[in-house]
Structures are given as C-alpha cells and as structure tokens.
Structure 1
Amino acid sequence: MRGEMWQDELMLECVTAGESHGAALIAVLSGLPAGIKITTNTLTKALAQRRKGYGRGTRQNFEQDAVTILSGLRHGKTLGSPVAVEIKNTEWPKWQTVMSPDPVSRQALLRDAGRGDERELARNLQLTKPRPGHADFAGMMKYGFTDARNVLERSSARETAARVALGAFAQALLDQVAGIRLVSHVTSVGSVSIPLDAPVPRPEDADYLDSDPVRCLDAHTAEQMVQAIDHAQHTGDTLGGVVQVIAYGVPIGLGSHVSRDRRLDARLAAALVSIQAVKGVEIGAAFLQASLPGSEAHDPLYRADQPADANTGLGTIARPTNLAGGIEGGMSNGNPIVVSAAVKPISTVPHALPTLDLADGSVATGLHQRSDTTAVVPAAVIAQAEVALVLADALLEKTGGDSVAECSRNLWAYLDEVTQRTTFS
C-alpha cells in the first residue's frame, strides 16, 4: 500500500474501515487477478497468529475475529473483482450504544447506580486526558474533538486485523504467481537480541515460529525474551523490540529507480512505518553498512558454476552477501528481501504517564486500560502482511495480467530472458 498522492499508480488498492469497538472492521482490496486459490480458513489462521504472542493482554482472549469474505471470491478462487472482508467485533453488544453511528437518547446512556440514582455509562464518559505516545492529543487538536475516544477508536492497532486479512490474499498471490514465500520473526525484545550468528529463518520454519511464544528461532534467546517480558509486567512497564521480514524467491527487477514513488525500498518503508508503534525501518544491514568503508559495505557479483536460479533469473551470477537486503537502486536484485522494523514500547503504560486534562488544564495522568506488556510478536505478523501487500503490488506492476496464469506466463518469459543474459559459457 502506498500513500494517497500515488493512488492512481497503484496496481492494488487497499482500504480499511472500522473502529476498535465498532461493529466490525471492513477491508477492501481491488486489483487482484482472477484465479488465486484461498479460503476463509486461510484468513482465520492469519488473524489467529496476529492475536498470539507472549506478553499480550487479556483482550485477545475474549475479542475474537469472526471473519467473512463478502465479495471477490467464489469456490475458493478470486474472481478478479474487488475483495471485501468483514471482521466482526464479538464485543460489539457491550459497545453498540456508546459507539452507535446514529444519535442515541440521553436515557440510553445512563445506568442504575444502585442507590436510586442514575449515572452515565463509564464507556461513554468523555476522555479528556490525552495519553502520551498515542494519537490522542494531536488528533484532538487536528479535528477539533473534546473527546479522545473519537481519535483512539480509529488509531487503535485493532485496525491491523484488516491489514493481516488482506495480506493473506497478497501472500497467496506471491506464492502462486512467482513462488515468493515470506517469513517473519522477532530479532529483539527490549534489550534482548538474537546473536549475530543466529540461524536465519526460512519459509519452512514458519510452523515453528508460529508456535513459539516470542516468534524466535533461537531457543536460548527466546527464553531470555520471555524473562524480560515477565520482568516488565511485574514492574508495571512495557517493552518494544525489532521484527524482521524475509521474502525468498523475489525476482530481480521489482520496483524502479525512475521515480521516488516507484522505489521498492521507499514503498516498503512507508508501509511498515504505517503500522501503529513502528518508528523506524532498516533495509538489509543498513545501519551496519553506515559504519563500514565503501569497500566492505556492498555485495559483489561473482561468476558461479551452478545451475540458473529459475525463480530470480540470476543465471550463473552469485552474490555471497546480502548487506543490501535484496534491494539496490530501488529495485529487487534477486537476493532475498530483508526488512526490519523498530517497534516502540506500548504507550499505555501501567505506571500512567503525566499529561494534562484538556477540559480544564489541570495536571493529570494518562488513562490506563487493559493493555499488552509488549506487542512485538504480533507486529511481526502485521509487518509480514504489509511486506506482502507491497511486493504483490510491485509484482503485478511488473507482470500485468488479469489471471494468475497470465501473470505467471509474463513473469517466466521475462525471467527466461534475464537468465539467458546472465548465463555465461
């Protein structure tokens, strides 16, 4: 997904709607070719992964994702028409008066206080104390609201459930057209990071990562991450971390150097930073590269006596290192795409942070409701969905085609030409 100023150039157009405590989230994805094989169960599994992870709060236990594909799919295959997905909020009955889209009577917002009097429903009380680190303050100022609920309901990370659902379609497209497969993992939680020589996950490790509480391949590091989360929870604090997405089998030539909005790295960075709480993105080993001399910071090309790589079209060219993370000059170079995202600690801190009550300017503390100790693990799943959406858009930009079969034919014809140009006798 890219910004509004680039909307006309998108192959895939993605829109989400809905509030955190609204009736449902709605996600619409247009531009998908016909013939992608996918089922409701695929989306359900992806959404279940988003709710998992060590350090998650109690909300994930009772707020289920009831997903329905409303359009664009028939008998397990996309039709080429826009896909619309609904994710119902199972908590809606508790909120339908407070979050009603239509006006409600004053009486409907009152409850029996138990002493012969009536009080306003707690859920309907105005939230006038913006929480530091959230969208509350800036949103209230921008839109002229006196109640932060008008901001926080949409700015909530609950919206990412819709992105994960659409990301499932994108991942199916990538796999079925080009054999591109993605995997995501957590590389750090708080001050605990995986060692430099830790194994790099591959797609076949996805089941293990899905079952690991902190989504980490290295068992010793995973144990330390769990301990760090336990300590933060005990002390009433929250933790951030870093997640990484790796895409294997990405063909050379996705994206372009000709315009800033077509650069693959720019599109990936924008998509990842759009995730709530993500404050930074690294392509490949960017920060390590920044500390190296130029003679050591890049990925040389070598002749290699090996069969051509049918997926990437690299022929007999080998690149032993991948400091660039699979992207050079805004284009994929045939190596795996590697992107990392820095996730800040959750802003809703149990030890509530200082703020002001905008109703009267008095000193106050930010509202603290139930929350996670860390959301780094689900952030990896969300990041994987975002990377998939960007790569799917770039793939369709390169291949064109109204069906999976046509996209595949166009891609393999291009890769055959690239392989011939990079195969030397």
Structure 2
Amino acid sequence: MLRWMSAGESHGRALVGILDGLPAGIKITTATVQNYLAARRAGYGRGARQKFEQDKAQMVGGVIRGVTTGAPIALIIENSEWPKWETVMSPDPVSAQALTIDAGKGDEREIARNKPLTRPRPGHADFAGMLAYDLNDARPVLERASARETAMRVGLGAFAQEFLKQAAGIELVSYVSSIGKASLAAKHPIPTVEEAALLADNPVRCPDPQVSKEMIAQIDGAQQNGDTIGGTVEVAAYAVPVGLGSHVQADRRLDARIAGALMSIPSVKTVKIGDGTQPYLLGSEAHDEIIRGQTGEITRTSNHAGGIEGGMSNGQIVRVSCEFKPISTVPRALSTVDLANGTPCQAIHQRSDTCAVVPGAVIAQAQVALVLADALLEHVGGYSLEQVRENLRAYRQRVEARV
C-alpha cells in the first residue's frame, strides 16, 4: 500500500512530505523533482508570488545516489520567503511587542503581516476553521488550507509518475480544457504523451492555439475587473493495465479513489470520469462496445467511460477531469463579518493569482499518478522495481491468454 502525507504551512519554514510504500530501484534525482515543481509554478494568470517563491526540494530519506531504497521517501520544500515570516510564524512564543513593529527592514507591510486576521474570506476555510478549532485568528487555518500545500503533492507525485513510467510504461498528460467561457470543443482529441512538451510551453496548457488565445483573453478580462476566474482541467493516463482497482468494496473502486484525490485539491468543486453521466444520450449510445480489432485484439468503439468500468480500469485510456472554481481571494474584497466584534466588513485580501487553473492541471496529474501507483502496487505487489515488473509481466500474460 502506498501512503502519503504532508505537513507545513504556506508561510512556514518549509513543507514536509512522506511517501511510504514505494519500491526500491526507481531512478530519480533532485533535478527530476524540481522539473515537476517548476511546471506547477508556471501558467498565465499567476500572481507576483510565483516570481519570488522558489520551490527548492530536498530529498532527505528513501533515496541514495539517485535510486529509491524502498524506505519511506522524505521530501522537504523550503520556503524562500521564510525570513519575512519568521516572527509571526515562529513555532516558539514571541513577545507582544515583536508583533507590533516591522521586521526592521523599513517595510510597513511587516506590521500588517503580524496582525490577527479576524475577517474570514468567503470561499475559504477561514470561517468554518476558526469556529471548528476555537481560534480567534484565521492565520492557523489559512496557512494550512492554502493551495501552497499542493507543491508537496506535486513533489510526491513526481515519484509516483517516475515509478509508473519505469514499472509499467504508464505516462500521464494534463491539459486545460476551459477557462471561463473559453472552452475546447467537446470532441477535441486527447493530447498524446508526445505532445506533453508542447502543452508545457503553452501559457495556458491548452492544445488548441485559438482556444488558448481566448483563454488568455478571459484571464485578462477578469484581472482588469479586479476579479478571479476558474476553469476545467483534464488528465489522461496512457497504458494503464486492465483491472486496477476493484468492484468488491467502495473504498477500493478506482474511480472513487481518483475522485476523492481530485476533490481534495483546493478550489476543485466537481470531478468527472470520462464523459460523465451524459444525460443527453441513451444507454445504447453512452456505453463503449467491446469489439475485435483488425489485428485480433479486444478494443472498444469509444471511451465514454474514461477507461474505468465497475470501479476498475478496463484497458482504455484513463481520462478524468475536474473543475476549479474562481480563486476565493478576490481583489475587490467580498462582504463578511469580523469575528472579533461581530460587525459587517470587507474580507481580508492577501495577494493572489487571477487564475490558478493552469497549475491545477499539474496538481491533478500528480494526484491521479499517486492513486494509480497505489492501485498498481495493490494489484501486482513487489518490494523492488524489478519485482513489480516481473509480477506485472506475469499478470499481463494471463490477461492476454484469456482474450
């Protein structure tokens, strides 16, 4: 079983992550992890924070000389902005006076940085978190609920993606299918693995040049109006073996596991497997008929199901999508109530992106990879990369003999 967990705050010293259960023998370097993290920081519509926040990753456990050992992966992503926050975010007590003066750099923003945050922002975890955890300040809530935490998901997802590729030839591609009112056509072809580099170079990670321009215009319009905007991302996984996941228990269903992982990403409000429910189609049209291909292989006439049927992968491309709501920290601050005195006011506004859909695709890809890696290990097992390969090879031979 593959298990992963993160710790750390948005403006804390660092994010910390653990990935337990990964086999020995996977080749990976710090530079590889950095490349995945760099993709998360890219994209049109990002704010100024991405220009000075550097995701410096350190592998501090589970990897020796570029190869995983089978021990838990321990990853640290340092916060380059920590010196500005070490007073207000100090794990040890600080004097009241220290929170009323600037940081000694002549920057008055340091004073505001240290003030209690008592005006919860609509759309964030602030309101519920302050009440649930009996807090007088939203700082402890927003620091952990921040999407900054997703940097660690991408970091750990880098290990999962390298494992899937090296063990089973499984590769993932993520792209943006809509931003605001700009959207790819419903039947637009799924980008291939070979097109991944082109997607990474596109400012909105969209495979259609014309739609890309429309997406950029949507982001520009929102920014000019002091607003934020959301959209949809899709993830496609190629070469996923048939039979990952299970129908026998709800928590083992592959679609349920993927949906839960994607829904856990901040700002995600809907998840769809394949084409979803397709209420406009009849049953005779909505399902993927099983046929013999020209070379005798079993294939499908379509892939409406997104490669998953009955909670298990069916051998087709696994295709999932999720929708990101507009970022909750809106520049033209929304109405709220100050929980310090109960009076109506405007919500606090901290710097934010206009659109985080593009990095959302990278985050979603990491989440899907972690779930698929877990499902693959659950099905074939193995403490080393070679054992996983041998077990998978034997399983595939059995499947081929059956079909």
**TM-score, structure 1 normalization:** 0.92
SS of the residue corresponding to residue 379 of structure 2 reads: helix
Q: For residues 320-335 of structure 1, what are the structure 2 equivalents within 5 Å?
A: 320-335=301-316
Aligned to 1:296: 285
Instruction: After TM superposition, list the pairs within 5 Å mapping 1:161-176 onto structure 2.
Output: 161-176=151-166
Q: Secondary structure of 2:159's partner?
A: helix
CA contact (8 A) 1:199 1:217 kept: no
Q: Which residue of 40, 52, 55 maps to 2:42?
A: 52
Q: Cα offset for 1:287?
A: 3.6
1:134 aligns with 2:128: no
Structure 1 consecutive aligned stretches of length 4 or more whose deviation exceeds 3 Å: none
Q: What is the deviation of 1:329?
A: 0.2
Counterpart in 2 of 1:389?
A: 370
Instruction: Tell whether the 8 Å contact from 2:100 to 2:114 is kept in structure 1 after alignment.
Output: no
SS in 2 for 1:318: strand
Secondary structure of residue in 2 paired with 1:121: helix
Q: Secondary structure at the match of 2:16?
A: strand
Tell me, in whole angstroms, the C-alpha distance in 1 between the residues paired with 2:96 and 2:340: 21
Q: How does 1:162-201 map to 2 (within 5 A)?
A: 162-201=152-191
CA–CA distance in 1 between the matches of 2:109 and 2:59?
A: 40
Find the residue that maps to 2:349 and give its secondary structure. coil
Cα offset, 1:123, TM superposition: 1.2
1:274 aligns with 2:255: no
Do 1:69 and 1:85's aligned partners in 2 also have CA atoms closer than 8 Å?
yes
Q: Tell me whether 1:376 sits opposite 2:365 in the alignment.
A: no
Q: What amino acid does structure 1 have at the position aligned with 2:114?
A: N
Distance 1:166 1:120, change over 3 A: closer
Deviation of residue 420 (structure 1)? 1.2
2:17–2:76 contact (8 Å) kept in structure 1: yes
8 A contact 2:102–2:111 mirrored in 1 = no
CA distance in 2, matches of 1:90, 1:268: 32
CA distance in 1, matches of 2:224, 2:112: 28
After TM superposition, list the pairs within 5 Å mapping 1:307-346 onto structure 2: 316-346=297-327
- Residue 305 of structure 2 aligns with an amino acid whose one-letter code is A
Q: Does 1:216 align with 2:206?
A: yes
Residue among 279, 286, 305 paired with 2:294: 305
1:170-210 CA distance string (max 9 Å, x none) = 00111111100000000000111001242320111111111
Asked whether 1:355 is paired with 2:336, we answer yes
Distance 1:337 1:113, change over 3 A: closer
What is the identity, as a one-letter code, of the residue corresponding to 2:261?
Answer: A
How many residues of Structure 1 are paired with residues of Structure 2 in the alignment? 400
Q: Which residue of 2 aligns with 1:6?
A: none
Question: Where does residue 81 of structure 2 map in the other structure?
Answer: 91
Instruction: Determine the structure 2 residue equivalent to 1:258.
Output: 248
Distance 2:232 2:298 in 1: 32
Counterpart-to-counterpart distance in 1, 2:184 and 2:192: 16
Counterparts of 1:198 and 1:284, CA distance in 2: 13
Q: Which amino acid letter does the alignment assign opposite residue 247 of structure 1?
A: A
Is 1:411 the counterpart of 2:401? The answer is no
2:151 alignment partner AA: A
1:240–1:345 contact (8 Å) kept in structure 2: yes
Distance 1:110 1:359, change over 3 A: closer
1:86-165 matched pairs, under 5 angstroms? 86-111=76-101, 121-165=111-155
Distance 1:113 1:329, change over 3 A: closer
Q: CA deviation at 1:291?
A: 2.4
Q: Distance in 2 between matches of 1:112 and 1:245?
A: 45
Letter in 2 for 1:323: H
In structure 2, what is the equivalent of residue 24 of structure 1? 14
- Report the TM-score, using the length of structure 2 for normalisation: 0.97
The answer to which of 62-71 and 381-390 deviates more is 62-71
CA–CA distance in structure 1, aligned partners of residues 184 and 129 of structure 2: 37
- What residue number does 1:367 align with? 348
Question: What runs of 5+ residues in structure 2 fail to find an aligned partner?
Answer: none
- Distance in 1 between the 2:73 and 2:187 partners? 42
SS of structure 2 residue aligned to 1:188: strand
- Given that residues 84 and 110 in structure 2 are in contact (C-alpha distance below 8 angstroms), is that contact kept between their aligned partners in structure 1? no
